[in-house]
Structure 1
Amino acid sequence: MILPRVLLIRFAMAVSVFTTALLPLAAQAAAQSWPSRPMRLVVPYVPGGATDLVSRIVGEQLTARLGQQVVVDNRPGATGTIAFTGVAAAEADGYTLVTTADSLTVVPFSYRNLKFDPRTSFAPISTMSTQPLVLAVHSAVPARNVKEFVALAKTRSLSFATSGTGTSQHLSGELIKKMTGIDMVHIPYKGGGQAIIDLSGGQVPAAVLGSSTVIPQHKAGRVRILAVTSKKRSAVLPDVPTLDESGLKGFDVYQWTAMLAPAKTPKAVISRLNTEINAILRHPAARDKLHAAGFEAQPSSPEEVSKLIADGMARWGKLIQELKLDLR
């Protein structure tokens, strides 16, 4: 009885080793045949906002290059946490992706008991775009520059709109308040698309929003952009001064978008996506569309995305602590 039992154990061990050896080969084969069906690109925000627009421009080009449909799926709510939670738990096969904005780096400070970690629950693929935020006012507001705006805010009660609580726009507004000594009431919206409607209609006097969201209304004369938040002037708005130039020395904030996949997505799939997205962003077809919409194309490596996420969490976490902001 002992001998057959020993043989059975050895046989089971051999099967286990053989099966384990086959797993990487199976994963490699699956990656090589990818994509064999449509992919879902989840956007954590409402249609019409900056992240949605970038996703559709890049998604359209990815469809053409990969030969499979990239379906943009808007899943707004709770500053993106609904979408991020779903994607983090999705099968890591390369068929579920998510576009994120820099606001992902603020989410851990806004919600308790998250079911994902921005640093470990996703496989970064590439950044796609950058844009500065802008400080803008309704055209009827009697302020044509930051100095006049600050003076006005010290004589009357003002409010500022953003795309939501705990976004980089919200925190940039709080930083403006801190650096100028003014007090403004924050009015959060469910996305930049809704905020710009009320700003252009005069329901709110001011806003801190992504430049791409504001530029059309700025050109139409309904709103006035006072400054961009990046340290350098924007190539899209070369005549608009920076907040740094306007007296808020050292102010440097910009909004980025990036594409992520669930953690443990095959490296071959991540590499292929990175190659395709970088090629798309360097081609005039997508680059010019992004520029016309107010963005600058920003290809990168997965490692650079990881650094952006880690640096953003460190920066905003420090500011939230300094200002004693309760985002929860």
Structure 2
Amino acid sequence: MHTPSMSLQRRSLLATVAALACLGTAIHAGAQTGPYPNKPVQLLVASAPGGGTDAIGRVLADALTASLKQPFVVVNRAGASGSIGSEMLVRAPADGYTLLVLQNGHTVNPATMKKLPYDTFNDFTPIATLGRSPLVLVGGAQSGVKTFKDLTELGKRTPTSMSFGSAEASTRLATEMLAGATGLPMVPVSYKGTGPAMTDVAGGHVNFSVTTIASTLPMRGSGKVNYIAVLSPQRTTFLPEVPTLAEQGFPNIEASGWWGVLGPANMPKPLVQKLNAAIQAALGDAEVKKRLANLSIEPWSATPEEFDKFIRREVDLNIKLAKKAGIEPE
């Protein structure tokens, strides 16, 4: 027989247990409780300061800081074609407080690197795309090379002059495509970021580079670099005076840069959707569009699902391109 006092005691005990369970969950979640974000967000950039990826990361950080009312702080983690930053991300909690701004080297690494410290498909959550821009071939002014014909003639005369600064796996693959098309020996020189690579091109320490337009902007107008060709089907409005490779007799070489945002694996879907919506809203902002245009980057919006499919297609395509170019994973 249950007396009213016993029922009251039981209800009180159940309420206490429930409260303790909620408290335990809150303690376990720590600062993650409450609406996201309620503390600063670490925005990893897998390149050195001064390059195109760093620049677009800072544009995004400013926009999200303003819209989500918490600091988004850029943290540069350069090296190993972006894989150092990627590895740091996969070790982070899937709570949205550590994100990664990446470029297309992420989908080239599986084709050019023998062993990665992560699974390209299963260790990440695709969140949003950011922008696209064609790659460009530039040479140090001291080389005297102004056209692709000049480049091929130089390669035939002095093969040792064909050193290429490369900071990303994607630009290395594009360089190998040039080598395959021309039959010329090209010596890649690795850098931890596109900024240092361009500095050495301008200084004559390496002769050429295939890179994003954004990475060349600090040198534009300095007289230290020559724009030889843009690697897109048509001329770009960002460099209308620079001819395509197709115009110079090599129609089958195309390469572009792209940027996006990833999180660690298994991020909650509502959180991914919130971040995607915030990023897409930022890309539609007039000031953000202006800043991206100043970096020669065209905004590019996609859903997380579309971004995931794009990554998978790019990895497959790059593996095929690497095999065709004879690139052995290192």
TM-score range, shorter chain: 0.7 to 0.9
For 1:31 and 1:110, locate their aligned partners in 2 and report how far apart those are by CA, in whole Å: 41
Aligned to 2:201: 199
Letter of the 1:276 counterpart: A
Q: TM-score, normalised by structure 2?
A: 0.86
SS of 2:188 mapped into structure 1: strand
Query: What are the residue-to-residue correspondences of 1:41-80 with 2, within 5 Å?
Result: 41-80=43-82
- Mapped to 2, the partners of 1:137 and 1:212 lie a distance apart of 15
Q: CA deviation at 1:327?
A: 3.5
Alpha-carbon distance in 2 for matches of 1:257, 1:290: 12
SS at match of 2:61: helix
Give the conservation status (yes or no) of the 8 Å contact 1:44–1:76: yes
Query: Percent identity among equivalent residues?
Result: 33
1:114 deviates by 2.9
For the residues of structure 2 that align with 1:160 and 1:308, how far apart are their CA atoms? 32
User: Which amino acid is 1:162 matched to?
Assistant: G
Residue 92 of structure 2 aligns to a residue whose secondary structure is coil
**Number of corresponding residues:** 303
SS of the equivalent of 1:106 reads helix
Gaps of 5+ in 2: 1-16
Cα deviation code 1:4-43 (max 9, x no counterpart): xxxxxxxxxxx9xxx9xxx9xx99xx79711111111111
Residue 281 of structure 1 corresponds to: 283
Which has more radius of gyration? 2
Deviations 1:286-327 (A, max 9, x none): 111111122222222212321331122112211222233233
Instruction: Specify the SS of the correspondent of 1:42.
Output: strand
* Residues 159, 187 of structure 1: 8 Å contact kept: no
- In the alignment, structure 1 residue 162 sits paired with structure 2 residue 165: yes
Match of 2:241 in 1: 239
Unaligned runs of 5+ in 1: 1-14
> Which residue does the alignment assign to 1:131?
133
Q: Deviations over 1:23-74 (max 9, x none)?
A: 9xx99xx797111111111111111111111000111110000000001111
| Separation of aligned partners in 2, 1:118 and 1:192 | 22
Q: Which secondary structure state, in structure 2, belongs to the residue aligned with residue 286 of structure 1?
A: helix
- Aligned counterpart, 2:96: 94
Aligned counterparts of 2:181 and 2:327: Cα–Cα separation in 1: 15
Q: Distance in 2 between matches of 1:115 and 1:178?
A: 30
Q: Classify the secondary structure of the residue corresponding to 2:281.
A: helix
**RMSD after superposition:** 2.2
The normalised TM-score by structure 1 is 0.86
**Per-residue displacement from partner, 1:212-252 (whole Å, max 9, x unpaired)?**
11133132221011111122322211221111222111222
Distance 1:100 1:159, change over 3 A: same
SS in 2 for 1:82: helix
User: For residues 43 and 140 of structure 2, what CA distance do their matches in structure 1 show?
Assistant: 34
Distance 2:317 2:60 in 1: 28
Aligned ranges 1:1-328 → 2 under 5 Å: 33-157=35-159, 158-164=161-167, 167-328=169-330
User: How far did residue 142 of structure 1 move?
Assistant: 2.6
Q: Do 1:31 and 1:266's aligned partners in 2 also have CA atoms closer than 8 Å?
A: no
CA displacement at 1:253 relative to structure 2: 0.9
What SS does structure 2 have at the residue aligned with 1:271?
A: helix
Quick one: distance in 2 between partners of 1:210 and 1:308? 20
Give the secondary-structure state (helix, strand or coil) at the position aligned to 1:68: coil
Q: Which runs of 4+ in 1 moved over 6 A?
A: none
